[in-house]
Structure 1
């Protein structure tokens, strides 16, 4: 069946809406809008108005669908402020439920209006990532209905599962002091005399790749300023070694969604010139990659495509692909062309969530500093 908004036509739209509508209670009173705590007085009338639009016309169309979409936007925007007002562990579940309802009403408005489905799927994913379950986990059930109706390429991108897919997060590190303070000159001042391990070479799979101890000042002079060759400061202990730098960052509150303790979170520093590459590989933990300055090109592949990515057979590199992602040898690795991917350019201030075992390839487009957080 073709996707609504493409070549499906009114009959396909109606069939999909009937399938989606069957996920909801049969009458307005059945959609209880139950919250697990108190919220501000203005919120419940907004929720009730959205519910009324959903049930009053059988299927919201035209102005009714647009009004439902706007109410979804208002609910998400209002609750988003509450979700980001303090540490994640202190966010009320009720406000997360309000956010989930905003995502649900917004997604339903998209389907009711017959619009292309990717935005509805994205709203479901945002609600699953940031909200709390409502109506017997309606968002998860809704996205399972929508996914088969997506165009094939977009369906492959969603195949890894609604809540286990990469997403770029905006605005969550804007308050970090490093966003205003850090620069190449700043690192020379704060850490220029400190000795750190440096990776020499464009990528760790190259035969000429090696590691060497040198001061941060020597690293910057050789590989950042004079660009004699490619070298990369990839450090797991940098922030413990130089506490002044650790004071300039924070741990994203989302890491508290995991099962481990804060002490179990690994913080990594990645500092290097334009052109350095992390070959296509996967990590055994969830990853938030925060970009402080510079830009990075990133390509991501689902774990479901692992057999098409030709991991090395050796135990040491079993988590790394043999394929040169941007110049693949398709005679040697023919199934690589079957692997679907997503890509982005990660900009300063953005954070990329990379789910556990998700394959990722990274190339620096500028002098770049990133901080990553590995957590379970």
Structure 2
């Protein structure tokens, strides 16, 4: 039985069970199942039964126990999955997210104990990190970090099959089925007129940035601020496949999120690269706010800009987002409720900004879900339908690698990738 020594699958290197077991508390009673919220007693009973199977004799589940643990993990995930999708994500109780995380944990451990290939165990860890809540000192992140070195490097496939993501997967819905093909038209950026240029500054002092841009809420492009970040030399498509090729992430499909055919699906980074980076006639975007918590190796290559210390919140309150995709992807004109530093790592983006004072001329959607998004196609506006759009003054820039754009809170911004691009944004208050 693999659990007695190592877990090994086709192409995987052996994973000593002791290495995995060392991530868990030594005794069964030390593995706390305390939940931040109420769940049914029957669910607590299932959690305790799974814990007992995990520890078993000398903490090594035998074949029958590993199979029973796998079945219990399926039940826990299926039941909590329904709870995660019962209403808006913000209303999902943390206790149910923890149950889902435990289900993913027990399932991943069952896979390792059964000696199967490790890809499914890693995927279960990622699902728990994406949809669950941290349990046992973020054991899922520690487990996937222990498993990943034993996986062969994920080679991009020509035509991946995407997995279904729940409707509540942040930041958007998902659909089942093969990935849609869409032709990308790479258009040159509009000419940036002198009166529209966003000002540029090289490493301004904290005081100068605060007094001249933060307090008066004026956009500015900062230069020389991120030159020392390791990502500026390390990050490339090949590097992402090496570090995170086997990791499951949510990917947005479609040129822009306001398109009817837009959807979101779960796939590995390697599959995303093969389908949307290597195949240049498809539009897909890796855009998510959990990537750096999910894959700490990437977070180590960036830093929070010093200017964020001028905000009122704590560092832990800063949301870090990843934006990775081919040229032709578009973020429609929209506004965000926080200050934003958009750091460009590689590739170029055309960006246009409008003041909140021009909101009425930008025709926001009337629906609550898109109230922060304009109905106007910025580069091809329907002036018969939206005649006042011409009254709105704007600033624009081509954001280059190594530059950071400060987008004040509630400022409307439109973004188009001109080529393969990776950006990191920091939302702060």
Normalising to structure 2: TM-score of the pair?
0.52
Aligned to 1:179: 232
Q: Deviations over 1:67-102 (max 9, x none)?
A: xxxxxxxxxxxxxxxxxxxxxxxxxxxxxxxxxxxx
Unpaired segments of 5 or more residues in structure 2? 1-194
* CA-to-aligned-CA distance 1:285-318 (integer Å, 9 cap, x gap): 0000000000000000000100000000000000
Tell me the CA shift for residue 337 of structure 1.
Answer: 0.4
Contact 1:193 1:217 in 2 (8 A): yes
Report the alpha carbon displacement of residue 130 of structure 1 after superposing the two structures with TM: 3.2
Question: For residues 348 and 333 of structure 1, what CA distance do their matches in structure 2 show?
Answer: 34
Deviation, 1:200, is 0.2
Residue of structure 2 equivalent to 1:130: 207
Residues 1:301 and 2:354 are matched in the alignment: yes
Could you tell me which residue of structure 1 aligns to residue 368 of structure 2? 315
1:356-375 correspondence to structure 2 within 5 Å? 356-375=409-428
Cα distance in 2 between the residues matched to 1:218 and 1:128: 43
Is 1:242 aligned to 2:290, yes or no? no
Alignment CA distance shift 1:129-1:319 (3 Å): farther
Checking the alignment, whether the CA contact within 8 Å between 1:129 and 1:163 is kept in structure 2 is no
RMSD over aligned CA atoms reads: 2.4
Change (3 A) 1:226 1:122: closer
Q: How far apart are 1:229 and its partner, in Å?
A: 1.6
Corresponding residue number in structure 2 for 1:98? none
Partners of 1:161 and 1:171 in 2: CA distance = 18
Structure 1 residue runs of 5 or longer lacking an equivalent are 1-117, 134-138, 141-159
Describe the shift of the 1:123–1:176 C-alpha distance in structure 2 as closer, same or farther (beyond 3 A). closer
Whole-angstrom distance in 1 between the partners of 2:204 and 2:428:
21
- Normalised by the length of structure 1, the TM-score is 0.59
Instruction: State the match for 2:244 in structure 1.
Output: 191
Give a deviation string over 1:265-292, Cα, whole Å, max 9, x none: 0000000000000000000000000000
| Number of the residue aligned with 1:345 | 398
Question: 2:209, 2:353 → 1: CA distance?
Answer: 27
SS of 1:131 mapped into structure 2 = helix
Segments of 4+ in structure 1 off by > 4 A? Answer: 121-124, 126-129
* CA deviation after TM superposition for structure 1 residue 264, in Å: 0.1
The 1:174–1:329 alpha-carbon spacing in structure 2 relative to 1, beyond 3 Å, is: same
Q: How many residues align?
A: 232
Report the counterpart of residue 212 of structure 1 in structure 2.
Answer: 265
> What corresponds to 1:275 in structure 2?
328
Change in 2 beyond 3 A, CA 1:210/1:201: same
Structure 1 residue 226: Cα displacement: 1.2
Q: Which residue of 1 aligns with 2:218?
A: 165
Tell me how far apart the structure 2 counterparts of residues 127 and 293 of structure 1 sit (CA, whole Å): 22
Please tell me whether the aligned partners of residues 309 and 321 of structure 1 are also in contact (alpha carbons under 8 angstroms). yes
Sort the Cα spacing of 1:253 and 1:322 in 2 relative to 1 into closer, same or farther, 3 A. same
Taking a change above 3 Å as real, the CA distance of residues 122 and 195 of structure 1, as seen in their structure-2 partners, is closer
> Structure 2 residue aligned with 1:254, among 290, 307, 310?
307
**1:70 aligns to what?**
none
Contact 2:199 2:220 in 1 (8 A): no
Shift of 1:238: 0.2
Preserved CA contact (<8 Å) 2:340 2:426: yes
Query: What residue in structure 2 maps to residue 291 of structure 1?
Result: 344
Q: 2: CA distance between counterparts of 1:331 and 1:228?
A: 32
